[in-house]
Amino acid sequence: MYMISPWCQHGDINNYLLMFPNTDREVLVLQLLHGLEYLHEQGVIHGDLRGANILISDDREVWIADFGLSKYLDQSPTSTQNRGNFWWMAPELLQQEISRGDLTPYTKATDIYSFAMTTTEIYTGSPPFPHPRPPVQGQRPGRPGGDGISHCIGDGLWDIIRDCWVEEPTQRLSARDAKQRLEVYRKARLSVM
């Protein structure tokens, strides 16, 4: 079985932001949350959320792609192997990958953790930990500071990111909660401008 999607001339989100560096990244993150919320409401876990798997349509909208590791929530936990990309992988998955023990299944919480890492990627233009080794357990990227290389993440979005990558999976925000918080933060921030 194959999945076919329309050609997206802008490519993935990383390429798009290289072509259009002044794009409002917060809008892209909000669109990503809308898509992730939809997937989770349909009972679908993506399993490999990262910049390379987020396409930008010709209408400049976020499309989540590459469902190679995806699964429905009602599948058995061993139906999806812990593969993927270390830099975006939730600690519970990363620990299992390192120890090669019983496989921890992907969950909504592991997608949310990957969303937080992907958001830092959107703002910095590079993987969350741009060095050759996977991150150390419990390590998180620093806040992008608008230093000319990365774009500044506002306080409200940074708080959302931090609540999405907490160590304990049950304490992470849902896609819906993260989306609602970002909408409220964005509306309040824009009304002040």
> Considering the domain boundaries, does residue 9 fall inside one?
no
Examine the pLDDT at 171 and tell me if it is beyond 80. Answer: yes
Task: Write out the H or E segment, with its range, that includes residue 72.
Answer: strand 71-72
Q: How many domains does the chain have?
A: 1
Q: Which one is catalytic: 12, 48, 66, 111? A: 48
Residue 130 domain-assigned (yes or no)? yes
Residue 2 inside a domain? The answer is: no
- 32 or 150: which leads in pLDDT: 32
Instruction: Based on the residue annotation, tell me whether 163 is a catalytic residue of this protein.
Output: no
What is the percentage of the chain residues whose pLDDT exceeds 90? 48
The neighbour count for residue 168, using CB atoms within 10 Å, is 9
The answer to the question of residue 19 being in a domain is no
56-88 pLDDT tens trace: 998 999 999 875 444 544 444 443 444 557 677
Contact (Cβ atoms closer than 8 angstroms) between residue 135 and residue 86 = yes
* CA 67 – CA 156 distance, rounded (Å): 30
Q: What is the pTM of this model?
A: 0.83
Q: By CB neighbour count within 10 A (0-12 exposed, 13-18 middle, 19+ buried), where does 7 fall?
A: exposed
pLDDT at 38 over 90: yes
- Which residues, including other chains, have CB under 8 Å from residue 78's CB and lie 6 or more apart? 103, 105
Q: Which pLDDT value is given to residue 72?
A: 45
Residue (of 110, 2, 109) closest to 48 by Cα position = 110
Mean pLDDT over residues 91-120, rounded? 78
Cβ atoms within 10 A of the Cβ of 105, count? 20
Cβ atoms of 164 and 113 within 8 Å: the answer is yes
12 within domain boundaries: no
The answer, yes or no, to whether residue 53 has pLDDT greater than 60, is yes
pLDDT in the model for residue 30: 97
Domain with residue 159: its CATH number is 1.10.510.10
Q: Is residue 96 part of a domain?
A: yes
Identify whether 163 is part of a domain. yes
pLDDT at 162: 96
Domain that holds residue 106: 25-52+68-192
100 domain residue, yes or no: yes
Rounded mean pLDDT, 177-189: 94
Cβ–Cβ under 8 Å, residues 55 and 63? yes
Report pLDDT digits (tens) over 119-168: 999 999 888 776 655 556 667 888 887 776 678 899 999 999 999 999 99
